[in-house]
């Protein structure tokens, strides 16, 4: 009886060891874990960018009249908005404008806490008469949980497509969620953080553009 019992224990140990070995040796499982690790790193980076964006609460009550080229900054009681725009030129004629591109970000604050980040990307093609509008809303930017980010996209007046980031596919064959974070959203926030940084620096150095222009006008008087 003891011999049979020992054999059963030995079989359990062997089977357990085989199962563990199979998991460790499974390339798909390893890739899946790598995918999760990459996403965690991206979530940490996005959280760091949101913390930096939160520091621009100092611009909330300021009259912003200077910002980087091709940008507009607007202050309201609810948010600070920055828009960046550009035009699409025809390939065969650089002077012919066939469309426009606009991207914007709104930073909502509760005191000095960043309470919501709302982004919008608009692309318009004049010859095709198409206008694509995509909205990305992060309702909890103070956390590193991005599953609740809402993405909504529409072409012209068609019914918009809407999905939460947590529902977006993220498999080994289609790592769409990681692509969104790594190839778009991280770069998007980083670009706007840089432009807000420059805007804050301009305000610190020059105050308002009126003051700056006055000084520049006075400097010109020295040439005659």
Longest dimension (CA), the chain: 114
Do the Cβ atoms of 88 and 99 come closer than 8 Å? yes
Domain count, the chain: 1
Residue 123 domain flag: yes
- Residue 46 belongs to domain spanning: 27-214
The count of other CB atoms within 10 Å of the CB of residue 177 is: 21
157 part of a folded domain: yes
For position 18, what pLDDT does the model report?
45
Domain for residue 118, yes or no?
yes
Residue 141: both structure tokens together: 């930017």
Q: Is residue 108 assigned to a domain?
A: yes
Kindly report the pTM of this predicted structure: 0.78
Mean pLDDT by 10 residues, the chain (224 residues): 46 44 54 87 96 95 88 92 92 82 96 95 94 97 95 93 95 92 96 96 76 66 67
CA distance 205 to 190: 23
* Alpha helical stretches, state H, the chain: 2-24, 27-54, 176-179, 186-206, 209-220
pLDDT score of 14: 42
What gap in Å lies between CA 175 and CA 185, rounded to an integer?
A: 15
Strand partners, 222: none
Query: What's residue 91's pLDDT?
Result: 80
Instruction: Tell me, yes or no, whether 22 lies in a domain.
Output: no
């Amino acid at each position: 009886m003891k011999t049979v019992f020992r054999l059963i224990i030995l079989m359990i140990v062997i089977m357990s060891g085989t199962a563990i070995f199979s998991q460790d040796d499974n390339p798909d499982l390893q890739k899946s874990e790598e995918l999760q690790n990459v996403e965690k790193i991206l979530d940490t980076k996005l959280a760091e960018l949101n913390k930096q964006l939160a520091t621009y609460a100092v611009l909330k009550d300021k009259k912003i009249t200077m910002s980087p080229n091709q940008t507009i900054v607007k202050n309201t009681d609810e948010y600070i908005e920055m828009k960046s725009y550009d035009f699409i030129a025809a390939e065969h004629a650089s002077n012919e404008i066939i469309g426009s591109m606009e991207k914007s970000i709104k930073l909502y604050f509760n005191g000095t806490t960043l309470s919501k980040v709302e982004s919008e990307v608009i692309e318009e093609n004049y010859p095709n008469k198409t206008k694509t509008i995509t909205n990305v809303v992060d309702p909890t930017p103070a956390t590193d949980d991005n599953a609740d980010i809402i993405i909504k996209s529409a072409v012209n007046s068609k019914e918009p497509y809407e999905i939460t980031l947590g529902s977006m596919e993220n498999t080994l064959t289609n790592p769409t969620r990681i692509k969104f974070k790594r190839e778009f959203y991280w770069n998007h926030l980083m670009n706007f953080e840089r432009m807000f940084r420059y805007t804050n620096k301009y305000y610190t150095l020059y105050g308002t553009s009126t003051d700056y222009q006055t000084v520049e006008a006075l400097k010109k008087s020295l040439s005659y």
